[in-house]
Structure 1
Amino acid sequence: MSLRSIDKQNIVDEVYAQIKNNIVTGIWKPGDKIPSEHDLCQMFKVSRVSVRSAIQKMRAIGIITTRHGQGSFVSQSIQDRILNDLTPIMNITEKEFMDMMEFRETIEFKCIDLAVQRADEEDIRCIEQALEKMVAGRSDYKKYTAADIEFHVAIAKASKNEILYQVVKNTHAYSEFLEELNRVFGVSQESVQGHIQQFEALKRRDSEAVKALIKMGMNENIQKLRERNEP
């Protein structure tokens, strides 16, 4: 197999994973019409061939149905077993989640306090640019995560404390944590809106509002994690 064909298969698998994630997380529900092939191409920045191949895989196992002249739909009769098989495995334990909450409340919250005091116009611009990337990449959890990390690292940089900045920037467990949440829970409108609100509070120099929004998001995610772990 050539390198080119391997790359092509990886793209198809990635598009398949993104479509699957939108169904599993309820963005596209049973009976919903999914975006057209053209729109999916624009959404995922891939060729029509890759989108078509991913949809064919979905159709082959009964997740997607296609109606001539109407488009593709999430199957109305999709079985719970299929949905359970599709549900991504969360690779974060509740203990690891709570450890990360403590890390964020100790390190990241201090960065926010200092950023509110010390951020200059260039810092605010960098944070806003990362936010714009998040909004633009919300249909792809990997692109969204990269911008999500950039957003929080930019806030740490705005603290003007080099040690805190380097800790946030180089703590791989932190970036892996954010990616895992976005992979499993999907990129929700609430997540996007929450970051917009964080940015607006930061511009107002309201550190308590920024921290409250982050804490609210963390609490919502721990609740989702516990619900997944219920027998």
Structure 2
Amino acid sequence: MMLKPIRRKRLYQDIIEQIQLLIRDNELKPGDKLPSEREMAENLSVSRTSVREAISVMESAGLVEVLQGKGVFLINDENTKLLNKLDKLLNSQGLNLIELIEVRQGLEGQAAYLAAIRRSETDLQKIKSAYIKMEKAYANDLVAAEEDYEFHISVVTAAKNPMLLKAVELFTDPFIQGVNILREKSIKSGKGQIILSEHFDIYKAIEEQDELKAQTAMWNHLVAAKKRYFIDS
């Protein structure tokens, strides 16, 4: 008899599943405004913190839009597509990918910031070399996961912080696995040039030694990566 590991769900997953159910029952439709944070917390008997976490995850996946002063709205997409995207979000691969990228945002955003300040000419050449390898791989319709990792680890190395480098290296395997998943989708949807452009913006900001621009470019790239996984169906 084969026993499988039991995966403990987090509360925000239950909240997202409740929203998904409302969509299935046509009580919520694409473009509709979600109940307020207070209403959801009271109706579901959960904390407002858990509701905020659920909304944050859905926003990261590009499934809702948060409009300041107006509320939270479902994206205006076909009902079936919206439900499919929610299914993808709720499976373990989708949630793991979001959690991985969120960690990378913190670590690599800081790395890009420090790299812009501390990089040497040798560091800059290594980042540029990795970018050129990515460019060539994309030109041949290759996934370029190893080349992508080389680019990012070159940025982290240029930050000159051994502890930061060790922290990022802990995620090498899931990083490459995640890039493989994202790149296969990007090739199919023709987003290769957009991804290259995002990496070039990171390189250029580090070259110019503009630390805030470098941090923002890295952050924006990773935010876009999350959304590409769920939106490019």
Question: 2:151 & 2:121 partners in 1: Cα distance?
Answer: 15
Whether the aligned pair in 1 keeps the contact of 2:109 and 2:215 (CA below 8 Å) is: yes
For the residue of structure 1 that corresponds to 2:209, the secondary structure is: coil
Deviation at 1:92, TM superposition (A): 6.8
Q: Over aligned residue pairs, what C-alpha RMSD do you find?
A: 2.5
Q: Which amino acid aligns with 1:227?
A: I
Over 3 Å counting, the alpha-carbon distance change for 1:228 and 1:124 in structure 2 is closer
Note the 1:1-231 alignment, pairs <5 A. Answer: 93-138=93-138, 139-142=140-143, 144-171=144-171, 172-186=173-187, 188-227=192-231
Alignment deviations for residues 57-82 of structure 1 (CA, whole Å, 9 cap, x no partner): xxxxxxxxxxxxxxxxxxxxxxxxxx
TM-score, length of structure 1 as denominator length: 0.54
Task: State the shift of 1:123 in Å.
Answer: 0.5
The one-letter code of the counterpart of 2:186 is F
| Alpha carbons of structure 1 residues 154 and 203: separation in structure 2 relative to 1, 3 Å | same
In structure 1, how many angstroms separate the alpha carbons of the residues matched to 2:179 and 2:92?
Answer: 11
Q: Quote the Cα distance in structure 1 between the aligned partners of 2:141 and 2:107.
A: 28
SS in 2 for 1:141: coil
Residue identity in the other structure for 2:97: F
Q: Percent identity of the aligned residues?
A: 20
Once the 2 structures are TM-superposed, how far is the Cα of residue 94 of structure 1 from its aligned partner?
A: 3.4
AA of the residue aligned to 1:181 = L
Once the 2 structures are TM-superposed, how far is the Cα of residue 228 of structure 1 from its aligned partner?
5.4
Q: Residues 114 and 159 of structure 1 are in contact (CA less than 8 Å); yes or no, is this contact kept in structure 2?
A: yes
Instruction: Quote the offset at 1:206 in angstroms.
Output: 1.7
Instruction: Decide whether the 8 Å contact of 1:94 with 1:222 is kept in 2.
Output: no
CA drift of 1:95 comes to: 1.9
TM superposition score normalised by structure 2: 0.53
Per-residue CA deviations over 1:97-127 (Å, capped at 9, x if unaligned) read 3212321122111211221221111111111
Structure 1: which amino acid aligns with 2:224? E
One-letter identity of the residue aligned with 2:150: E
Q: 1:156: how far off?
A: 0.7
Alignment check: 8 A CA contact 2:199 2:221 kept: no
CA shift in 2, pair 1:92/1:222, >3 Å: farther
Match of 1:205, SS state, is: coil
In 2 relative to 1, CA 132–226 (structure 1 residues): closer, same or farther, beyond 3 Å? closer
Task: Return closer, same or farther for 1:226/1:131 CA change in 2, 3 Å cut-off.
Answer: closer
CA contact (8 A) 1:115 1:156 kept: yes
